[in-house]
């Protein structure tokens, strides 16, 4: 639990994304789920394990053993390569992806607390006035748009095994964060006479809101050590109700007269989080596992912003992944106990910009490295290559490379056993 303040500091002090698309709405929606899931395309709604925390579905919390506890931490780095019709750019980010702790409450009842980033804003866009009349009569006019910040999700949930084949789960999610957006107009005269008005704006948005998630997992088939599970989850939507403070100032350039405030207001945002429905199948066996997930988000409840040419749309996401372990019980060759993972994902961005859909496609792969012969403590490493958008007028094509590293601990420790002999 002492790691949670460090995670909060990390989330608030660095940029988690670098994309001009995060200019709108609440920014980029960050990938959810543990590190081992990310290497399989992000699947896991039906995944159950007593030695791993599956934050994709709270019903999975019931799988924890009664005599142990689990701790999970994840980190990730991202490399962005952006290209428009006439410019190129690149940027690197690094941050915490998840910190979670899971404890058993009773037989078939597990409790989990955790923190992870939910959305992120990070962009820096420059533009210069190109009209010939401006160049000849005034000089250079520069515009700068910048933004940073994001929203974190703090969750506390319970999973309960109703029967040996059915589990239910629910968790409370507290969304909290700050988003800053700035605009600056600068005039650099070349004629040497007169003065000109510059302009700047500062927009501060503070989010503090509680929602809830609900989950179900049902075993559809079982034979020996092989199972087929169905996973379903629902994320509650509603008005985010964030507090926004906006200040716009302007004044003469190169003048001793200070800038004047032309706008100074505070208001509540009407932006809404969508209802999200998810479902998936997950096949588990000692050597081979595979999953297929689908997600639907009703983002169109936010309508459109005609001022910026943005329309919010309902989203569909499909993910698939597989895992292979050559020989889980091999004590002589450690690489035979490694988990080899591969996956793919297709995702729709929740906005239509300038009449263009922004779609994303990615392939993932990675390994799970067991610490010890039992394989209950693991280091999970994942890689993702993806692309989003198109390099057409007014849009940017983003190619990215992501690396995630996760650590799962304490799966083989007995925390809640009272020994008869010391």
How far are the Cα atoms of 24, 166, 168, 219, 280 from residue 163, in angstroms, in the given order?
Answer: 45, 5, 10, 10, 20
pLDDT at 1: 46
55-69, 203-217, 244-258: segment of lowest average pLDDT:
244-258
Q: What is the pTM of this model?
A: 0.89
Average model confidence (pLDDT) across the chain: 87
More confident residue, 41 or 305: 41
Contact 50, 65 (CB under 8 A): yes
Query: Using CA atoms, how far apart are residues 418 and 422, in angstroms rounded to an integer?
Result: 10
Contact 322, 344 (CB under 8 A): no
pLDDT in tens, 366-389: 999 988 766 568 899 999 999 998
Contact 157, 171 (CB under 8 A): yes
Query: Using CA atoms, how far apart are residues 328 and 67, in angstroms rounded to an integer?
Result: 23
Please say if the pLDDT value at position 2 is more than 70: no
pLDDT at 7: 47
- In this prediction, residue 273 has a pLDDT band, given cuts at 50, 70 and 90, of very high
pLDDT at 374: 61
Contact 199, 188 (CB under 8 A): no
Mean pLDDT, to the nearest integer, of 186-196? 68
Q: For the CA atoms of 387, 389, 392, 396, what is the dihedral angle to 10 degrees?
A: -80
Where along the chain do its domains lie? 3-409
Mean pLDDT, to the nearest integer, of 250-258? 59
3-17, 113-127, 182-196: segment of lowest average pLDDT:
3-17
Please say if the pLDDT value at position 4 is more than 50: no
Contact 228, 281 (CB under 8 A): yes
pLDDT in tens, 143-170: 899 999 999 999 999 999 999 999 999 9
- In this prediction, residue 415 has a pLDDT band, given cuts at 50, 70 and 90, of low
**Number of alpha carbons in the 13 Å side-chain half-sphere of residue 355:** 2
Query: Using CA atoms, how far apart are residues 118 and 154, in angstroms rounded to an integer?
Result: 9
% residues pLDDT > 70 (the chain):
87
Most confidently predicted of 122-136, 184-198, 365-379: 365-379
Please say if the pLDDT value at position 257 is more than 80: no
Mean pLDDT, to the nearest integer, of 298-306? 92
Q: For the CA atoms of 7, 10, 214, 102, what is the dihedral angle to 10 degrees?
A: -20
pLDDT at 251: 73
230-244, 257-271, 345-359, 403-417: segment of lowest average pLDDT:
403-417
Mean pLDDT, to the nearest integer, of 174-196? 81
Q: What is the DSSP letter of 301?
A: G
The alpha-helical segments, DSSP class H, found in 206-328 are: none
- In this prediction, residue 365 has a pLDDT band, given cuts at 50, 70 and 90, of very high
pLDDT at 409: 82
Q: Which residues contact residue 345 at a Cβ distance below 8 angstroms, ignoring those fewer than 6 apart?
A: 41, 42, 317, 318, 319, 320, 360, 361, 362, 364, 386
Contact 376, 418 (CB under 8 A): no
% residues pLDDT > 90 (the chain):
60
Q: Which residues contact residue 252 at a Cβ distance below 8 angstroms, ignoring those fewer than 6 apart?
A: 195, 196, 197, 198
Mean pLDDT, to the nearest integer, of 44-64? 94
More confident residue, 132 or 151: 151
Question: Which CATH number describes the domain made up of 3-409?
Answer: 2.40.160.60
SS3 label, residue 234: strand
Please say if the pLDDT value at position 134 is more than 60: yes
pLDDT at 84: 84
Contact 92, 142 (CB under 8 A): no
Query: According to the 3-state scheme, what is the secondary structure of 340-384?
Result: EEEEEEEEEEEEEECCEEEEEEEEEEEEEEECCCCCCCEEEEEEE
Mean pLDDT, to the nearest integer, of 241-263? 76
6-15, 160-169, 181-190: segment of lowest average pLDDT:
6-15
Q: Measured in Å, how far apart are the chain's first and last C-alpha atoms? A: 29
pLDDT at 11: 45
SS3 label, residue 81: strand
Mean pLDDT, to the nearest integer, of 271-296? 96
pLDDT at 181: 94
Residues in the chain, how many?
A: 422
């Amino acid at each position: 639990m002492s790691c949670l303040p460090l995670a909060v500091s990390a989330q608030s002090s660095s940029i988690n994304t670098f994309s001009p698309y995060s200019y709108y709405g609440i920014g980029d929606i960050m990938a959810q789920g543990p590190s081992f899931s990310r290497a399989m395309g992000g699947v896991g709604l039906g995944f159950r394990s007593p030695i791993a925390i599956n934050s994709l579905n709270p019903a999975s919390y019931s799988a924890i053993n009664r005599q142990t506890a689990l701790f999970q931490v994840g980190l990730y780095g991202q490399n962005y390569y952006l290209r428009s019709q006439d410019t190129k750019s690149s940027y690197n980010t690094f941050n915490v992806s998840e910190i979670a702790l899971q404890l058993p409450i009773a037989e078939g009842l597990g409790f989990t607390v955790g923190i992870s980033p939910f959305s992120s804003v990070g962009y820096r866009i420059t533009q210069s006035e190109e009209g010939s009349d401006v160049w000849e009569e005034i000089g250079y006019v520069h515009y700068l748009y910048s933004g940073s910040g994001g929203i974190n999700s703090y969750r506390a949930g319970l999973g309960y095994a109703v029967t040996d084949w059915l589990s239910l789960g629910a968790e409370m999610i507290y969304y909290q964060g700050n988003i800053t957006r700035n605009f600056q107009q600068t005039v650099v005269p070349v004629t040497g006479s007169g003065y000109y008005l510059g302009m700047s704006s500062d927009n501060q948005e503070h989010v503090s809101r509680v929602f809830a998630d609900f989950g179900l997992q049902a075993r559809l088939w079982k034979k020996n050590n092989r199972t087929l599970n169905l996973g379903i989850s629902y994320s509650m939507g509603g008005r985010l109700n964030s507090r926004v403070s906006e200040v716009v100032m302007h004044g003469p350039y190169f003048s001793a007269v200070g800038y004047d405030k032309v706008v100074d207001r505070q208001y509540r945002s009407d932006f809404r989080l969508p209802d999200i429905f998810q479902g998936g199948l997950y096949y588990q066996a000692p050597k081979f596992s595979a999953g297929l997930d689908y997600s639907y988000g009703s983002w169109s409840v936010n309508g459109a912003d005609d001022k910026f040419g943005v329309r919010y749309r309902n989203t569909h996401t499909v993910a698939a992944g597989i895992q292979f372990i050559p020989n889980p019980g091999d004590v002589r060759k450690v690489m035979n106990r490694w988990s080899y993972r591969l996956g793919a994902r297709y995702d729709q961005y929740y906005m239509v910009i300038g009449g263009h859909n922004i779609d994303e496609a990615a392939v993932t792969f990675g390994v799970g490295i067991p610490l010890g012969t039992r394989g209950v403590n693991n280091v999970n490493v994942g890689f993702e290559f993806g692309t989003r958008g198109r390099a057409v007028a007014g849009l940017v094509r983003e190619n990215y490379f992501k690396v995630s590293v996760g650590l799962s601990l304490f799966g083989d420790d007995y925390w809640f056993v009272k020994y008869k002999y010391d």
